[in-house]
Amino acid sequence: MRETFVRVVSSALDTDPGLALLLADISADRFAEVSARHPDRVVNLGSREQLLIGAAGGLALTGMRPVAHTFGSFLVERPFEQLKLDLGHQGTGAVLASTGGSYETPGYGRTHMAPGDVALLDTLPGWTVHVPGHADEAARLLEGALPGDDRVYLRLSERGNTQPHAVGRGLVPVREGSARSRGVVLAVGPMLERVLAATRDLDVTVAYTATVRPFDREGLRRLTAAAGQADILLVEPYLAGTSAHEVAAALHDRRHRQLSLGVSRNAEVRGYGTQADHDRAHGLDTAGVAAAAREFFLV
Amino acid sequence: MATATFSRYADLTALVGLMTGDEKHQAAAASTLDVLWVLYDRVLTVTPETTDHPDRDRFLLSKGHGPAGYYAVLAAKGFLTVGNLRNWTESDSPLGHHPDRTLVPGAEISSGSLGHGLGLGVGTALGLRAQARDRPRVVVLLGDGELDEGSNHEAIAFAGRAGLENLTAVVVDNSSATHGWPGGIAERFTREGWSARTVPNRDHAALYGALTAPHDGVPLAVVVTVV
């Protein structure tokens, strides 16, 4: 998806004079060509992430559309107050595109892991959060975000699904359960194919979304109403339970059960290893999701 | 008519007097009053009619503390009414102890948390440069205590290397930084490639001279020492 991001933004910089890209060293080599064509609109600030967001806020104040990009940990966590004040409190917007997901460079350790990015942004009003599960989805979501003036977070991942799915239409059912189904499974972005595999033997509706904020509460109500039981399994690729409050709000007026799977909140995983190792540790591999789903639905 | 009655430098004390606040904020207001007046009276090209004009000069009050002086100058120049000042900090007033750009006519940024204005100023200067708007200036006012915030040093180093000539940092030095700035504040800027001047806060001619000093191809820092 990072290559897709580079391609889409480079192309947009050639055609939209109001677009500016801010970098903090990460991926700067990939933008060398477009930077040579537009030196005033492709700016590498060096390793200065507070300035990355502050300058994005200033660019937006002049009417330009800033795009800022680096690892999620340095894009959202390190300059969090800048996100709150230099964008939100100024009433301006920007497109933030992170790379690295929750733990896509596990050899780098905890410093480069950012499973809390979406939960952190969720404390601020007015953000659209995209979590594409395929490079084609990332391209479409990015192309939709660039012309705006709102606050958009695009969580890019190098992992994902083998096939793209519909984006921009809220929760989309990928596999429909019967009228007596055991409930609804919501798979976010890169989680979809393992969720489909993990729930293959269950009569459930599996719905997909690549956009978690704003959350499609109405869509979840519809899918839940059509299911046999109001039991919701939420599978997100970042901090477990990040969207649990949205599920609760969507179904506030009816009895329901819900279980949230995601990156563990309870303890840091201090191992290095591979992404698969971390999936297993957090119960986010296919076997882990399958075990949790059976326990939740087949009570 | 009311603004015409309170439009001179001599009126600023009375305008500040319409507002009340804690002593720290009053002192902050007093230390910035003269440089704010010189900026709005003689340096900046912006009026209440041009607050959205793309070629206006931008003034960013980074040090959001002690805005009474700022509000007084904005009132004297017609951005605010005298009535606005009388009920400041009440729930329905646009004026608080820290300014909010979405509420205060003429305020370019919302501030209050230290260390945000210079980064916003760098982005504003970059945005104007990318749009080939060479005329407008971006003037950011900071305090010497505020300079403790590391975010400023990200902005100072980058602005110097990028040669942001349209950017000016005004640092009001009232010796409030807990650990001080040995060698002087101007040295922090010149080391990073800025042109820097240091002037006393009550000398309007010196302030004007420093704020309009030529600084070909580099950003300008004006350190205002409170005497």
A158 Cα distance to chain centroid: 12
- How high is the ipTM of this complex? 0.96
Residues 6+ apart with CB under 8 A from A87: A53, A56, A57, A60, A93, A94, A151
Task: List the domains of chain B with CATH numbers.
Answer: 29-66+112-225 (3.40.50.970)
Quote the pLDDT of residue B5: 79
Report percent pLDDT > 70 for chain A.
100
pLDDT-derived band at B23, boundaries 50, 70, 90: very low
Q: Which residues of B touch A85 (CB under 8 A)?
A: 110, 113, 116
Whether residue B204 lies within 8 A of chain A, CB to CB, comes out as no
**pLDDT average, residue stretch A102-108:** 95
Contact B152, B185 (CB under 8 A): no
Quote the pLDDT of residue B2: 47
CA distances from A207 to A158, A165, A234 (A): 22, 11, 10
In total, chain A counts a number of residues equal to: 299
Quote the pLDDT of residue A218: 98
Q: How close A245 comes to chain B (CA, Å)?
A: 30
Quote the pLDDT of residue B1: 45
Quote the pLDDT of residue B64: 87
Quote the pLDDT of residue A299: 74
Residue-wise over A211-228: b if at least 16 C-beta within 10 A, else e?
bbbebbbebbbbbbeebb
Which member of A60, A85, A91 has the closest CB to residue B116?
A85
Report percent pLDDT > 90 for chain B.
89
Provide the 8-state DSSP code for A229. Answer: S
Secondary structure of residue A69 in the 3-state scheme: strand
Identify the contact set of chain A against chain B, taking CB-CB distances under 8 A. 17, 20, 40-41, 43, 45-46, 48, 50-51, 53-64, 66, 81-82, 85-86, 89-91
Q: Which residues of A touch B120 (CB under 8 A)?
A: 54-55, 57-58, 61, 86, 90
CA nearest A87 in B: which residue? Answer: B120
CA nearest B155 in A: which residue? Answer: A51
State how far the Cα of B80 lies from the Cα of B106, in Å rounded to an integer. Answer: 8
A59 pLDDT exceeds 60?
Answer: yes
Helices B204-211 and B23-38 cross at an angle (nearest 10°) of 70
**pLDDT average, residue stretch A97-120:** 96
A294 pLDDT exceeds 70?
Answer: yes
**pLDDT average, residue stretch A157-185:** 94
Secondary structure of residue A56 in the 3-state scheme: helix
State how far the Cα of B51 lies from the Cα of A155, in Å rounded to an integer. Answer: 36
CA-based nearest residue to A264, from A134, A110, A99? A110
Quote the pLDDT of residue A82: 98
How much is the mean pLDDT over chain B? 93
Residue bearing the bigger pLDDT, A138 or A270: A138
Contact A91 B102 (CB under 8 A): yes
Per-residue pLDDT tens over the stretch B30-88:
789 999 999 999 999 999 999 999 999 999 999 988 899 999 999 999 999 999 999 99
Which member of A20, A48, A86 has the closest CB to residue B120?
A86
Helices B23-38 and B68-76 cross at an angle (nearest 10°) of 40
Q: Which residue has the tokens 């979501």?
A: A141
CA nearest B103 in A: which residue? Answer: A90
Whether residue B32 lies within 8 A of chain A, CB to CB, comes out as no
Per-residue pLDDT tens over the stretch B80-107:
999 999 999 999 999 999 999 999 999 9
Secondary structure of residue A164 in the 3-state scheme: coil
How much is the mean pLDDT over chain A? 97
Per-residue pLDDT tens over the stretch A253-265:
999 999 999 999 9
**pLDDT average, residue stretch A137-165:** 97
| Strand partners of residue A65 | A19
Per-residue pLDDT tens over the stretch A8-18:
999 999 999 99
pLDDT-derived band at A168, boundaries 50, 70, 90: confident
Contact B155 A54 (CB under 8 A): yes
Q: Which residue has the tokens 């992992």?
A: A159
Q: Which residues of B touch A43 (CB under 8 A)?
A: 126, 162
Per-residue pLDDT tens over the stretch A79-89:
999 999 999 99
Q: Is A241 left (phi over 0), alpha (psi -120 to 50) or beta?
A: left
Q: Is the pTM of this model over 0.90?
A: yes
State how far the Cα of B38 lies from the Cα of B217, in Å rounded to an integer. Answer: 24
Which member of A20, A48, A90 has the closest CB to residue B130?
A20
